[in-house]
Amino acid sequence: MKNDAVPAATAARLPLYVRRLRELARNRVELASSRKLADTTGLEAHQIRKDLSYLGTFGKRGVGYQVDDLLEQLSSYLSLSRVWRVALVGYGRLGSAIACHLTLLGNSYHLSAVFDCSYQKIGSAVEDLEVLSWRQIPLVSRQRGIDMAILATPPLAAQGVADLLVEGGVKLLLNFTAAQIAVPGDCTVRNVDLSAEMQALALQHTARKPLRTREHARAFAGRGAS
């Protein structure tokens, strides 16, 4: 590994590389060229080479990258070998969909607590967990050592929930609600906005006014398009 900084744009693509490499590994593919990775990700080969070069030199010239080796390097960089204890707040449709996704995501993310405010849901079981009241967020977050929380509540509840999570020592929040969340400086919020994705997609074909991009479909598509 090198000692330089990794550009944020590169870091944002690494999860996609991991995903594709896992597929290759599952299919017993041992070797992958940057070209091959480019084809399966919708990116360009030189971009992939450049991205990987920020983390180190993993490939063999004239040959390509050893899939399992590269996978291990990226996993290590993304801290996928450790377990992240995740709390889910809001067990509605979206919340339950995310919980389901989580379990499909490998061993790195462990659903360690589920909170809701509805008395119909509190007490019910999600896998081996019991849905708890939002009132217990600070205490339980601390007890279970929650590392990150997923906000999937109605927008109006989001800030209050975030405050309780912060009180419970949670530093990383993934916000699926429409609300803007304020947190102390040592915490991080990452927003996922479903409606924005929709609008951005729509814009792509409207584009009465040209979008200034290198290649039309590519750069604008955020996290990889084809």
Partner DNA sequence: GAATGTGAAAAGCTTCACAGCC
Partner DNA sequence: GGCTGTGAAGCTTTTCACATTC
Instruction: Report in angstroms the alpha-carbon separations of 147 from 84, 109, 169, 186, 224.
Output: 6, 10, 8, 13, 28
Selected from 8, 28, 61, 62, the binder of a copy of itself by CB under 8 A is 8
Q: Could you say whether residue 217 binds a copy of itself (CB under 8 A)?
A: yes
From a copy of itself, DNA, none, interface partner of 14 (C-beta below 5 to 8 A by class) = a copy of itself
Toward DNA, which CB reaches closer, 9 or 194?
9
Residue closer to a copy of itself, measured from CB, 61 or 209: 209
Residues 58-97 that bind DNA (CB under 7 A): 58-65
157 binds, among DNA, a copy of itself, none (CB under 5 to 8 A by kind): none
Q: Which residues pair with 129 in a beta bridge?
A: 126
If one asks whether residue 182 binds DNA (CB under 7 A), the answer comes out as: no
Residue 204 in the binding site for a copy of itself (CB under 8 A): yes
Number of CB atoms found within 10 A of residue 217's CB: 11
61-69, 114-122, 131-139, 170-178 -> range binding a copy of itself (CB under 8 A): 170-178
Q: Is 33 in the site for DNA (CB under 7 A)?
A: yes
What b/e sequence results for 169-197 when a residue is b if at least 16 CB atoms lie within 10 Å of its CB, and e otherwise? ebebbbbbbebebebeeebeeeeeeeeee
AA letter at 60: K
φ/ψ (deg, to 5) at 136? -90, 0
Q: Is 180 in the site for a copy of itself (CB under 8 A)?
A: yes
Alpha-carbon distance 120 to 210, whole Å? 50
Picked from DNA, a copy of itself, none, the partner binding residue 46 (CB below 5 to 8 A depending on kind) is DNA
Nearer to DNA, 22 or 218 (CB): 218
- Pairing assessment for the beta strands 129-133 and 125-126 based on DSSP bridges: antiparallel
